Structure 1
Amino acid sequence: MGAALWALRRIVVAALTVLAVAILIFASVRLMPGSYIDVALGPLATAEQRAAAMSEAGLDQPVVVQFVQWIGGIVTGDLGRSFVSNVAIADEFALRLPVTATVALGAIALTVLVGIPLGFITALNAGSRGGGAGGRIASALGISLPEFVLGGLVVFAVSSLPLGLSVGGYRPLGEDPGAFVGSLVLPTLVLAVPSAAITARNTRDAVMNVLVEPHIDAVVARGSTRWFIVRHHIMRNAMPPVLTLLATIMATLLGGTVIVETIFNVPGIGAYLITALGRRDYAIIQAGVLLAAIVFIVANLVVDLVAASLDPRLKRRKA
């Protein structure tokens, strides 16, 4: 009963956080320099033209009314319509979400499959002759190369060298699944490199902190095998902070997809938001940023629940 109450409390806090974030997003979008009317009509528009455009976009209503209407639409699944194209945002997201989701989920999968094992190997070999230097160097290089630098290098290499790869050539999943996946391989790899490097570094630190605990010395003294110690004692205690980091990485991937989708000319949600930002298309910006915030909040909620199942002491700390 106590665990169920703790989980329910976490869910309520997550829901309230989503509401608070929605308020901040709505307010910050309208505080951006240059309004939609200024961008759409330009400085020579008459007062009548500006008033007509504001009425058409619904911007002539009180701000509170606009916010309530927006939240009501979000709850019912209506994300609104683009001010510029008058196309339903939900339809555009439905077309672009598979692209961004494929890139982001592929990056997360590579981050987990590469970053966590590399962190464990580096930490467990810290006392050896090599001292895990290769893993530390690889993670340092990955952290020091942001997506836009690495993406530019990849585009240059693919364009200049006979590697058998190409940039662009995007095809929708329904038309050509092979071309769809092939056009997203390079963006996924570029997005995954910094995330995997950060995960490897933090996993190494978490494992090193567990290795100096007294109970590890006791288990070693009892003659347990190395794999048994890693699986039953080190991994269970080192994973909660790593899971928390992965939740944060998932939230930052939208910013990364904006960069890689622009560099590799991939029509995902990130590129859609960049275009909307230039046009001050409030409805698209609000929906996209709120989507990223919800992903972050839900990911942290899931990580809290999983971490608490791995280490029940966290329930008492976070109660």
Structure 2
Amino acid sequence: MRTMLDRLPGPIGFFFRRLLIGVGLLVAVAVLTFVMIQSVPGDPARLLLSGDSGGGSEEAVEALRAELGLDRPLAVQFLAFLGGMFTGDLGTSFVHRQPVMDLIASRLPNTLEIVGAAAVLSALAGVAIGLLSAIVSRDRRGGTVFSTFTSLGLSAPVYVTGTLLVYFVSVKLHLLPAGGFASWSQDPGRHVQLLVLPVLTIAIGLICILARATRSSVLETRGQDWVRTAKALGHSPVRLWLQAVLRNSLTPVVTLIGLEIGVLVGSTVLVEQVFNWPGLSSLLIESVAHRDYPVIQGVILVTSAIFIVINIIVDYLYGVLDPRARSGS
């Protein structure tokens, strides 16, 4: 298989090699998820029938276990789960009695909206702030001020940042609503208002990370020979900084963006709770509380698949920016 992929043209072979690795990672996630869920104490059937009180007759519990497929051997359950993963059938929710894919499809766009908006805002603001800081504050004092402010942004957990934003922006200044959800189709203006604070909450930390990475990379790149050559050729300052310096500084930043987007997906767990946003992470928390195994497995798989796809795209972009990466150099 490796030899066949190596015979493909550079970009195509590079993409399919990453895709094959991604499939392997997804299978590994499926195995770990299934094992970890089965090792958690608690019987979903008993919980559904009686809540946390522990009631319910044994006959009713066994009948529900058979209905949910929990009476089958673990190996059979795992093979059914693995087969459904490749066919798009992740089972039926124990609690909602709906297909898991339907539940995920109803919540996923809300989570992707927050993550996508935060990623775009972070990339634009982080790169711009880092570049401006490298251009303006070249002395040690300027670097200390920049480092202090970015460290503050990085040190605050998302639930602290979200709470502070709600207190000052919503409670004190009355600029934006504190939380809730309104669909775009029903009220676009209200939807955007409710989106601002969750996006800012998870974007602030990533903006600081990207700003620091961009500043460090730009300061390192501007001393290279080709930058001095471009300057000697009389290139304008804008062209010099954007083409000669920034473009050659973006390779590590692009890689960092891809890795941190996965962190953004994880950050939505707390953000969706703070702002009462009905996304994928809040569905996961509800499912864990009710031992809804199919939904837990489905959400983790979909989230992992998103993370893997993002990293494949980032690897490809890395290869575009630096062709040596495609050949493994």
Q: Taking structure 1 as the reference length, what is the TM-score of the superposition?
A: 0.90
Q: CA deviation at 1:27?
A: 1.7
**Partner of 1:108: helix, strand, or coil?**
helix
The aligned residue for residue 287 of structure 1 is 298
Alpha-carbon spacing, 1:81–1:117, altered in 2? closer, same or farther (3 Å): same
Q: Which secondary structure does the structure 2 equivalent of 1:163 belong to?
A: coil
Corresponding position of 1:24 = 32
* Distance in 2, Cα, partners of 1:273 & 1:230: 45
Gaps of 5+ in 2: 1-8
Contact 1:122–1:136 (Cα < 8 Å) also in 2: no
Percentage of pairs with the same residue: 35
Contact 1:116–1:199 (CA under 8 A) maintained in structure 2: yes
Tell me the residue number matched to 2:189: 178
1:210: Cα distance to partner? 2.0
Match of 1:266 among 277, 282, 285: 277
The two structures, once aligned, show a CA RMSD in angstroms of: 2.3
Counterpart in 1 of 2:318?
A: 307
* 2:15 equivalent to 1:7: yes
After superposition, the C-alpha distances for 1:145-171 in whole angstroms (9 at most, x for unaligned) are 111001111222245314232223422
Superposition pairs of residues 1-319 of structure 1, within 5 angstroms: 1-37=9-45, 39-40=47-48, 41=50, 42=52, 43-128=54-139, 131-132=142-143, 134-317=145-328
Residue deviations 1:177-197, cap 9 Å, x none? 222222121111111111111
Q: Does the 8 A contact of 1:169 with 1:183 survive in 2? A: yes
User: Does the CA-based 8 Å contact 1:210-1:237 persist in structure 2?
Assistant: yes
Q: Is residue 152–residue 263 contact of structure 1 (8 Å, CA) maintained in 2?
A: yes
Deviation at 1:261, TM superposition (A): 0.9
**SS of the residue 1:151 aligns to:** helix
Change (3 A) 1:129 1:258: closer
> Are the structure 2 counterparts of residues 307 and 118 from structure 1 closer, same or farther at C-alpha, using a change threshold of 3 Å?
same
Q: What is the CA–CA distance in structure 2 between the aligned matches of 1:52 and 1:125, rounded to whole Å?
A: 71
> Using a 3 Å threshold, how does the CA distance of structure 1 residues 158 and 230 change in structure 2: closer, same or farther?
closer
The DSSP-based 3-state class of the residue aligned with 1:316 is coil
* Contact 2:230-2:240 at 8 Å conserved across structures: yes
The answer for the alignment partner of 2:6 in structure 1 is none
Q: CA deviation at 1:64?
A: 2.5
Q: What CA distance in whole angstroms lies between the structure 2 residues aligned with 1:174 and 1:59?
A: 40
Aligned 8 A contact 1:237 1:311 in 2: no
Amino acid at match of 1:207: V
Q: How many residues align?
A: 318
The 1:3/1:107 distance shift into structure 2, 3 A limit, reads closer
- AA aligned to 2:254 is L
CA deviation profile, 1:282-317 (whole Å, cap 9, x unmatched):
111111111111111111111111111111111233
Q: Judge which range, 22-31 or 267-276, deviates more.
A: 22-31
CA distance in 2, matches of 1:103, 1:83: 28
In 2, Cα distance between equivalents of 1:244 and 1:136 = 21
SS at structure 2 position matched to 1:244 = helix
- TM-superposed CA distance for 1:15, in Å, is 1.8
DSSP 3-state at the match of 2:95: coil
Q: Secondary structure at the match of 2:328?
A: helix
* TM value normalised by structure 2: 0.88
| C-alpha distance 213-37 of structure 1, shift in aligned 2 (>3 A) | farther
What is the rounded CA distance, in whole Å, between the counterparts of 2:177 and 2:23 in structure 1? 43
Q: Is the 8 A contact 1:168 1:266 kept in 2?
A: yes
Please tell me whether the aligned partners of residues 14 and 316 of structure 2 are also in contact (alpha carbons under 8 angstroms). no
Structure 1 gaps, min length 5: none
Shift of 1:110: 0.9
Tell me if structure 2 keeps the 8 A contact 1:122–1:133.
no
Amino acid at match of 1:31: S
